[in-house]
Amino acid sequence: MRETLLLTEWTILLTNVPEEKMTPSEALVMARVRWQVEILFRVWKSHAHVDEWQSHNPWRILSELYARLAGQVILHWMLLTEWHRFPDRSLFKAARLLQKLAIPLALFLRQGKGLREIISLFRECFRTCRVNKRRGKPATFQRLLASEGLN
């Protein structure tokens, strides 16, 4: 496969995707989407502390890791129930919001409220987690929408 070197004003991107399969602008959008995955791992490390543990016992460490990853799966499941409709939402802001709502959500469950009520509460709060639109350097969601012709 032939490697393609893409140059823009400030970006050099090396890829092995053939030019007929991906335009330079599409490759740059994909590189920015990859950065969103990096942000996901940063959120997992900074908020869920998946890279830290309290014990020296390997089985406890594994239990802590599984519990934290399960929490992240629940977080992302809740995000994905709304995310597809609103691409301008910030995963980082939503993770912080859900972390702040952890105790009220636990109390909701303890009071016998159902999952629907919890998701409804989260939906209302999730509306505030917007990524600001930018003219000079568009956010990733703006680039994705533009690449699909959905400005």
Q: Is residue 126 within 8 Å of residue 139, measured between CB atoms?
A: no
Q: Is the pLDDT of residue 2 over 70?
A: no
Per-residue pLDDT tens over the stretch 45-103: 887 788 888 889 999 999 888 888 887 887 777 767 666 566 677 777 777 777 777 77
Per-residue pLDDT tens over the stretch 12-23: 778 888 888 888
124 — phi, psi (to 5°)? -65, -45
- Residue in the structure block whose two tokens are 């393609």: 4
- Residue in the structure block whose two tokens are 């406890």: 60
Q: Is the pLDDT of residue 105 over 80?
A: no
User: Band of the pLDDT at 5, cuts 50, 70, 90?
Assistant: low
Q: Is residue 14 within 8 Å of residue 3, measured between CB atoms?
A: yes
